[in-house]
Amino acid sequence: MNRIPVGVLGATGTVGQRFVQLLAEHPWFEVAVVTGSDRTVGRPYGEGVNWLMPGRVPARTAELIVQPTDTDLDLPGNPPVVFSALPTGEAKEWEPRFAAAGYAVVTNTSVFRMNPTVPLLIPEINPDHTCLIPTQRAENNWPGFIVASPNCSTTSAILPLKVFQEAFGVEAAMITTLQAISGAGYPGVSSMDIYDNVVPYIGGEDEKLENEPTKLLGDVRDGRMIRAGIAVSAQANRVPVVDGHLASVSVRLGRRATPDEAIAALRDWRPPAICAQLPSSPQELLIYRDEPDRPQPRRDRDAGDGLAWTVGKVRACPVLDVRYVALTHNTLRGAASGALLNAELLAVQGYIGN
């Protein structure tokens, strides 16, 4: 297929840079427009960006002139596609403007995740939720639309919950996360705060962990979002690990299951068939480790090119029913790569690239 020209909003930040890096060799998309801060506008991207990714700035993107964030971007497509890595305040203002101007906005930001007409997507979990897009367009009178990725900490915990929901039903979960410092962006957490320490607070994170799973695991009926009736209690912690969010989760099931039955469900689960068409989706999406000390961030975060879930320690829970530990790479599966998968899903489903 011809590569689809796309824009990256907020391309000079850390998530924006990750988008640029991932899109450089993507078989379906190519970066045609980048936007950035006032400091970088009007300069070649390669000169203006403080590049923090491994290697060099991709050569073609390095030559692009950084544009101000505005809806008059010279970007072809029906609809034109932009990936948003904007800061929260700018995203709240600009993402609806882009949708109203006819763009498909694939966002990594948190602003519209819980909006009932905005699909909160992980293609391997809820690809059917894109059917909210016609409702979103109709209610807002937008020719374009917004789709969102979940929070990186939610992502780390969610896939085993999906498997258990399908196999046994899920009524409640208690989630404790150990989150990498890269999740705080750059320059992130002060070394004096995180070295030899654990910080048991990440602003807004507990609430995201308690709300987003109910949307990801819900249903869309007649164009309306019906959130799953699952009670979630969450506590988020920042730990001195560079990359990789680890979630420790206890679950009350709809029907009782032994740990062996739960492990069998994880091993037997397969993603929806449409995911085989997504070039970035890993062949082995869910990896179950039998070792008593796995998963570990340093050893497991890069599984499936940073896009797989590694799960272990499924045991009986003396308070609820079963418990497990799950790990994902927070800046890949939990951020830019997850949003890129959403765009691939939109292309396969015909929402972009026509």
Q: With 80 as the cut, is the pLDDT of residue 14 above it?
A: yes
Q: How many CB atoms lie within 10 A of CB 159?
A: 24
Q: Which residue has the tokens 């403080």?
A: 50
Per-residue confidence band for 354, with pLDDT thresholds at 50, 70 and 90: low
| 245 noted as active-site residue | yes
Q: What is the pLDDT of residues 267-284, one digit of tens each?
A: 999 999 999 999 999 999
Q: What is the CA radius of gyration of the chain?
A: 20
Strands in 133-199 per DSSP E: 145-148, 170-179
Pairing outcome for strands 170-179 and 245-253: antiparallel
Burial of residue 268 (number of CB atoms within 10 Å: 0-12, 13-18, 19+): exposed
pLDDT tens track for 27-73? 999 999 999 999 999 999 999 999 999 999 999 999 999 999 999 99
Q: Which of the following is catalytic: 26, 129, 152, 329?
A: 152
Tens of pLDDT along 305-322?
999 999 999 999 999 999
Q: Model-level pTM?
A: 0.96
What is the mean pLDDT of the segment spanning 123-148? 98
Amino acid in position 263: I
Contact status, residue 295 vs residue 311, Cβ threshold 8 Å: yes
Over 80: is that where the pLDDT of 296 sits?
Answer: yes
pLDDT band at 264 (very low <50, low <70, confident <90, very high): very high
Task: Calculate mean pLDDT across residues 213-223.
Answer: 97
Task: Please state the rounded mean pLDDT for residues 155-182.
Answer: 98
Is residue 26 annotated as part of the catalytic site, yes or no?
Answer: no
**What's residue 2's pLDDT?**
84
Strands 322-328 and 29-34, sheet pairing: unpaired
Residue 1 has pLDDT above 90, yes or no: no
Q: At what angle do helices 14-23 and 337-349 cross, to 10 degrees?
A: 50
State phi, psi for 228 to the nearest 5 degrees: -70, 140
Q: Are 84 and 118 in contact (CB under 8 A)?
A: no
Q: Rounded to the nearest 10 degrees, how much is the dihedral formed by the CA atoms of 308, 166, 114, 309?
A: -10
List beta partners, residue 67.
35
Kindly list the structural domains of the chain, giving each domain's residue range(s) and its CATH number in brackets, ordered by start: 4-151+335-349 (3.40.50.720), 152-328 (3.30.360.10)
Dist CA 179 CA 169 (whole Å):
27
- The one-letter code for the residue type at 41 is V
Residue of 26, 129, 131, 245 marked catalytic: 245
Average pLDDT, the chain: 97
**Mean pLDDT (whole number) for 84-88:** 96
Residues 127 and 50: their CA atoms lie apart, in Å, by: 35
Per residue in 336-346, pLDDT tens? Answer: 999 999 999 99
Phi, psi (rounded to 5 degrees) for 241: -125, 140
Chain CA centroid to CA 22, Å: 14
Q: Which two tokens stand for residue 87?
A: 């800061």
